[in-house]
Amino acid sequence: MDSEFFYPSKEVVKNANVKEYDNLYKKSVENPEGFWSERAKTLEWFKKWEKVLDDSNKPFYKWFVGGKINIVHNAIDRHLKTWRRNKLAVIWEGEPGDVRTFSYHALNREVSKFANVLKSMGVRKGEIVTIYMPQIPELMFAMLACAKIGAAHSVVYGGFSVEALAGRIQDAKSRVVLTADGGFRRGKITDLKGIVNEAVKRSATVEVCIVVKRTGHEVFMENDRDFWYHELMGLPIASAKCKTEIMDSEDMLFILYTSGTTGKPKGLLHTHGGYAVYTSTTHKFVFDIKDEDRWWCAADPGWVTGHSYIVYAPLINGATILMYEGAPNHPYPNRWWQMIEKYGISILYTSPTAIRGLMRFGDQWPQRHDLTSLRLLGSVGEPINPEAWKWYHKVIGQEKCPIMDTWWQTETGGFMITPLPITPLKPGSGTKPFFGNEVAVVDDKGNEVPVGEEGKLVIKTPWPGMARTIYGDAERYREVYWKEFEKQGWYKAGDSARIDKDGYVWIIGRIDDVIKVSGYRLGTAEIESALVSHPAVSEAAAIALPHEVKGNSIHTYVILRAGVSAGKQLEEELKNHVSKEIGPIAKPEDVTFVDSLPKTRSGKIMRRVLKARAQGLDAGDLTTLEE
């Protein structure tokens, strides 16, 4: 039915970087290596690759084998030889309203100086530096400075707390931690340094901690371990001349932790070469990036969205980036719309949660502002409900901005299923696979399910942006993503989806024990282990239930230890305990005290039973239920 489509305007089609999908897609999947090697040629290499794809050791694929590159050379250095040297790279606005701007020239100066500081602290190629910062320019400098000298970064989202941070520092065995005295969020100061101090107590490897002064509030600094960023940057050692390290294509660029089905978060590992090619291509094709654009990805650099589409891809494409520190509704719900007007933002990329949250305040807030500079919009993180899609399209996009609903994951590095600006859109669908990618929706045996039916989403072909492994646990990488469809050699995404008669993909949600809250990814196992770490708790289960704004919210069930009595006060205490251990995003909506939990005979908690009961639904097949 054609009426369900939203067609792009002639204007959009005429100006698009990519004007055609079907033929180009066909060619790209017939010869993905040809497609990707053409794209790789748009970057600067110190030495050209010998082989585009090495699939001799599946599922550990390698891309642009033998090539020498550094992503920072492409994100910064090569622009300095052109007129872009004096182009704005970053416009940054703090929550209190302070503004700082950096041209590519200035960005290079800051990154080079900090790279020299890191070197003076003994940071070496291959080591992993943990970064735990608010959304300030120094976060970006820190990531780029690590990459420039060949060190890898592990950015931990500033909303995470002691336990989450300590676990990540320990897993990466970081010797150096970069942080700040705090950041601003809804007018309050987040105590990042206090959390680092606690986390470092639990992490024996940390020798150096560099602290950016952001808020000026007093923090504890340990002698001989903690240093102020601004003091180091003022020393002669912080020279603005720094050579960009020559890296192998397949050298580690960063690890980024994400939640999985079981156990502790896993550090997905990404590399210099393939990741640079994949992120810059997807960004340029999908968001139609042009030199005159002002690009705003309103995510946090602590997540993969920020890594790929605040930092690396936009810089490689020579874009002007807006970065904002704080909350969307501070001090008023027009904060974002005000910034779009103030800076003339042309592309906004955000999450369904943020859209739903802002929609709630009513049309009068955006309507007070001039949003005519916008020409494209984007959405990521979870399925977008058609109501929010239509509001975003009408009220923010003034019915002229196509919405790029991009489906991807920490593991994929960049967009996998996504429209292009020229694609006829259906609200709520990510439409079709990006060039080079073949996807399918299959049953447990790997047979494609009939049109319109639900099944498991798989990716049938490797792509340059794919994670190479889980840091320190290659076996787990194989097990989690590749084992189920090993015979076919497919990547299992962990999402369920359906494909309609027009070939459009509709993501339904996670099929594993991963919960998406406000687009953030959390594992039921992490929440449960935080609960069980409280002395009152003997057993716990966490499930997700639908939530109007957040998409999902966390509901928990707890069995108390003998002699402990349930009550409102304990419920509050447990909710706060989870928030303190993992971070405020993991705070449960409620805690229900129970005497037993539904389990299989082998002792696994049957979360789907809890979920069905909570929703008043039939729990389905209960034959494996023990009690």
Q: How far apart are CA 302 and CA 100, in angstroms?
A: 20
Nearer to ligand WT7, 287 or 408 (CB): 408
Q: Shortest distance, CB of residue 18 to ligand WT7, whole angstroms?
A: 19
Nearer to ligand WT7, 317 or 409 (CB): 409
Nearer to ligand WT7, 331 or 386 (CB): 386
Q: What are phi and psi of 486, to 5 degrees?
A: -60, -40
Q: Shortest distance, CB of residue 506 to ligand WT7, whole angstroms?
A: 9
Q: Shortest distance, CB of residue 414 to ligand WT7, whole angstroms?
A: 9
In this structure, the number of other CB atoms found within 10 A of the CB of residue 88 comes to: 18
Element (H, E) at 389: helix 386-391
Q: Shortest distance, CB of residue 379 to ligand WT7, whole angstroms?
A: 6
Q: Which residues bind ligand WT7 (CB under 6 A)?
A: 258, 304-305, 380-383, 405-410, 430, 493-495, 507, 510, 516, 521
Nearer to ligand WT7, 268 or 570 (CB): 268
Burial call 471-505: b when 16+ CB within 10 Å, e when fewer: bebeebbbebbbebbeeeebbbbbbbbbbeeeebb
Q: Shortest distance, CB of residue 548 to ligand WT7, whole angstroms?
A: 17
Nearer to ligand WT7, 131 or 380 (CB): 380
Q: Shortest distance, CB of residue 170 to ligand WT7, whole angstroms?
A: 22
Q: How far apart are CA 290 and CA 16, in angstroms?
A: 9
Counting beta carbons within 10 angstroms of the beta carbon of residue 140, is it exposed (0 to 12), middle (13 to 18) or buried (19 or more)?
buried
Nearer to ligand WT7, 114 or 408 (CB): 408
Distance of CA 233 to CAs 183, 227, 240, Å?
Answer: 20, 11, 10
Q: Shortest distance, CB of residue 407 to ligand WT7, whole angstroms?
A: 4
Strands 320-324 and 88-93: what pairing?
parallel
Sign of CA dihedral 489, 491, 492, 497: negative
Whether residue 331 has a cis bond before it, omega within 30° of 0? yes
* Three-class DSSP category at 602: coil
Distance of CA 584 to CAs 89, 159, 353, 443, 532, Å?
Answer: 32, 7, 16, 36, 17
Nearer to ligand WT7, 251 or 405 (CB): 405
Nearer to ligand WT7, 131 or 544 (CB): 544
Q: Shortest distance, CB of residue 405 to ligand WT7, whole angstroms?
A: 5
Q: How far apart are CA 227 and CA 297, in angstroms?
A: 31
